[in-house]
A and B are shown apart, each in its own frame.
Chain A
Amino acid sequence: MTLLQPGFFSSLPVQNALLIGAGAALLSGAAGVFTVLRGQSFAGHALADVSAAGGAMAYLLGISPLLGFFSLSVLGALALEALGTRRAAGRDLAAGIVLGAGMGITALLLYLDVTVKGSAGAAVTVMFGSLFATPPGLGRAVALGALAGLLGLGFIYRPLLLASLDGELAKADGVNTRLLGAVYLLLLALAVTLSAMAVGAILSTALLIGPAAAALRLARSPVAAMGLAALLGLGCAWGGVWLAYQSYGWTPGHVWPVSFFITALVLVVYAAASLARRA
């Protein structure tokens, strides 16, 4: 058994995977801090599941998976905003309804992928990701999307932080919390889309919530938490790609799923942060 596989950095699929993983992890980490602060983890998961319908649609129509995931994720964000209320229970209810509808559409589109297009592997790729098999040009698009998302988060950082801490107080201070919430949901849709590209729609919540929750336990300020969450997410994404690449030598001829390693590392990071906080 070969423990360390050669050619990691010279492999084009690996380079593409590292680029996509970095874009997804950096934006999801930073956006995830607000998702946790606002108590919207379930909404994030709902958007991820709705984006799966977009991934399945991309297979059916033969369009870019990035466009497919993002368009449905944005539709999901708009639906959450339209159905949402100020109360947490109402928000969860809206997320549950949107999630259910999204999964239903995903089931239909994946069925059509298999029966009409003959894409038998679509379900696994959409739901659980296939980072080494993404088209070469996708890495650059994901990097640009992440950059745009990070700039957007930076632009709304202060009012978003205030509204995340207390919505009424933010309104009294002159913040349009409704518009801000809608813009944030669109940025969240982008983060979820990029994460879905990296680890699949079902598992993208791991990159969104895990690094952010760990960083919030360790950091001394929200800005530091955003930076730390992005770095922890990056470490998990790149570590997952490296471990998956090495796994070729553990079970010759087979590469273990990258998504498994990334989500496992996220779990380890969160557990370590919780222990460090208690210490």
Chain B
Amino acid sequence: MTAALNVEGLRVTLGGREVLHDVGFSLEPGAFCGLIGANGSGKTTLLRTILGFTSPSAGRVALGGAAGYVPQKLQLDPDMPVRARDFVELGLNGHRFGFPLPSRARRAKVEEMLAAVDAAGFAGQRIGELSGGQQQRVLIAHALIRQPKLLLLDEPLANLDLRAAAEIIALLRRVAKQGVTVLISAHDMNPLLSAMDRIVYLANGRAASGTTQDVVRTEVLSALYGYHIDVIRVHERILVVAGEHGAHGHEHVATIP
């Protein structure tokens, strides 16, 4: 089976500093994968390189089909008269030139996509007035309407409360089950662990990938961080604790599926 995303030996240098060192992993179609790492670990650089915004100094990225992208948040004034419906429609034809003529088929497709992400109820509202969770649904609909094979999301849960985050994860899980490969970046793996098929864990520009059990282990994370990391399993939860040399103090608590 052709991989939906194949990253091999990727090195990226920004401002004279190598941000990603020999990063490699592969995702199958329909995989639901978390790109986990602390702030500054290289997650956004990796996403930007996959999207083609940043050129690698070495290595390659191969996509099995079109990629859709969901940014963290739209910085829009609430007064801007752009409705959720308009924004999803731009996902369909925003790259095309010429003034759009009314189209019943296009409108039906937009409404179908809004319904698929449970956004029909606020489709007529200005996008700047929507809550973080509602805006994420609209952004996801915008990215999905052109039926990409791969969906890349940059910290989609960063500004959401627990309930909204759980709803977005459930939605993305549904998307992955329909065959779209989903790669979500997150600095906190807590909300994601129970849903992900696999993770790509980034630290110091290096990556380890596999299932949670494969990656979230003392020896793997210690090798990534370059100092001792304890992974403690307590009452079906994972506690990741930086060792005494971990001056950068990095800690995660998560539930094992």
Chain A residues with CB under 8 Å of B74's CB are 165-166
Known: A161-B90, A175-B95. A169 touches B81 (CB 8 A): no
Contacts of B144 in A (CB 8 A): none
Most A C-beta atoms less than 10 A away, residue of B75, B87, B94: B94
- Nearest A residue (CB) for B96: A158
Q: Considering the chains assembled together, what is the distance between the CA atoms of A273 and B96 in angstroms?
A: 32
The answer to whether B53 touches A154 (Cβ under 8 A) is: no
Report the contact-size class of chain B (Cβ under 8 Å from the partner). Answer: 20 to 34
Contact B95 A174 (CB under 8 A): yes
Stretch at the interface among B28-36, B64-72, B212-220, B248-256: B64-72
Name which of A158, A172, A225 has the most chain B CB atoms within 10 A of its CB.
A172
- When distances are taken between beta carbons in the complex, the residues of chain A under 8 Å from B71 are 166, 168-169
A158 engages B97 (CB within 8 Å): yes
Q: Is the CB of A172 within 8 A of B68?
A: yes
Contact with A along B78-99 (1 / 0, CB 8 A): 0111110011001101111111
User: Does the CB pair B95–A225 fall under 8 Å?
Assistant: no
SS class, residues of chain A in contact with chain B: helix
- Does A220 sit at the interface, judged by CB under 8 A? yes
The residue that B94 contacts in the complex, of A155, A161, A217, with Cβ under 8 A, is A161
Is the CB of B170 closer than 8 A to any CB of chain A? no
User: Whole-angstrom distance between the alpha carbons of A162 and B68 in the complex?
Assistant: 15
Q: Mark A175-186, 1 if CB is under 8 A from B, else 0.
A: 100000000000
Bound together, the chains give a CA A172 to CA B71 distance in angstroms of 10
B100 close to chain A: CB less than 8 A = yes
A101 within 8 Å of B (CB atoms): no
CB distance from A176 to the nearest CB of B (A): 9
Tell me if A254 is interfacial: C-beta within 8 Å of chain B.
Answer: no
Q: Are A222 and B86 in contact (CB under 8 A)?
A: yes
Residues of A within 8 A of B51 (CB): 171-172
Q: Could you tell me if B79 and A217 are in contact, using CB atoms closer than 8 angstroms?
A: yes
B243 → chain A closest CB, angstroms: 37
Contact B79 A165 (CB under 8 A): no
Closest to A157 in B: B99
Cross-chain contact A173 with B86 (CB below 8 angstroms): no
Q: B76 in the interface, Cβ–Cβ < 8 Å?
A: yes
Q: Do B100 and A158 touch across chains, with their CB atoms under 8 A apart? A: yes
Give the one of A157, A158, A162, A168 with max B CB within 10 A.
Answer: A158
Which among B67, B81, B90, B98 is the interface contact of A216 at CB below 8 angstroms? B81
CB-CB under 8 A from A154, the residues of chain B are: 98-99
The distance from the CB of A89 to the nearest CB of chain B, in whole angstroms, is 14
How many Å from the CB of B208 to the closest CB on chain A? 27
The answer to whether B87 and A155 touch across the interface, beta carbons within 8 angstroms, is no
Cα distance, A44 to B77, chains bound together (Å) = 20
Select one of B79, B82, B95 contacting A222, CB under 8 A.
B82
Task: For the complex, give the distance between the alpha carbons of A263 and B252 in Å.
Answer: 58
> A173 near B91 (CB under 8 angstroms)?
yes
Q: Is the CB of B97 within 8 A of A156?
A: yes
Contact between A159 and B96, CB atoms less than 8 A apart: yes
CB <8 Å contact, B67 and A155:
no
A122 to B142, CA, bound (A): 52
Knowing A159-B94, A169-B71, the reply to whether A216 touches B99 (Cβ < 8 A) is: no
- A224–B83 CA distance with the chains assembled, in angstroms: 12
Whether A220 pairs with B81 at a CB distance below 8 angstroms is yes
B87 touches A277 (CB 8 A): no
Q: Which residues of B contact A222 (CB under 8 A)?
A: 81-82, 86
CB–CB B99/A219 < 8 A: no
A155 and B97: CB pair below 8 A? yes
Residues of A within 8 A of B53 (CB): 168, 171-172
Indicate if A37 sits at the interface (CB-CB under 8 A). Answer: yes
Which residues of B, 2-48, contact A by the 8 Å Cβ criterion?
Answer: none
Q: Is the CB of A159 within 8 A of B81?
A: no
Check if A10 is an interface residue, CB within 8 A of chain B: no
Contact of A220 among B83, B90, B93 (CB under 8 A): B83
Q: Is A170 an interface residue (CB 8 A)?
A: yes
**In the bound complex, do residue A175 and residue B94 qualify as a contact, i.e. CB atoms below 8 Å apart?**
yes
**Are B81 and A224 in touch, CB under 8 angstroms?**
yes
Q: What residues of chain B lie closer than 8 Å to A221, measured between beta carbons?
A: 81-83, 86
Q: Across the A-B interface, give the 8 residue pairs with the lowest CB-CB distance, nearest first.
A: A172-B69, A162-B94, A154-B99, A174-B95, A219-B81, A162-B90, A173-B95, A158-B94
Additional A-B contact list (20), CB under 8 Å, known A158-B90, A172-B68: A37-B80, A156-B97, A157-B98, A157-B100, A158-B94, A158-B98, A161-B94, A162-B90, A165-B82, A166-B71, A166-B75, A168-B53, A168-B71, A172-B53, A173-B90, A173-B95, A220-B81, A221-B82, A222-B81, A222-B86
27 A-B pairs with C-beta separation under 8 A:
A154-B98, A155-B98, A156-B97, A157-B99, A158-B90, A158-B93, A158-B95, A158-B96, A161-B90, A165-B90, A166-B71, A166-B74, A166-B75, A168-B53, A168-B69, A169-B142, A170-B94, A172-B53, A172-B69, A173-B94, A173-B146, A174-B95, A220-B81, A221-B82, A221-B83, A221-B86, A277-B79
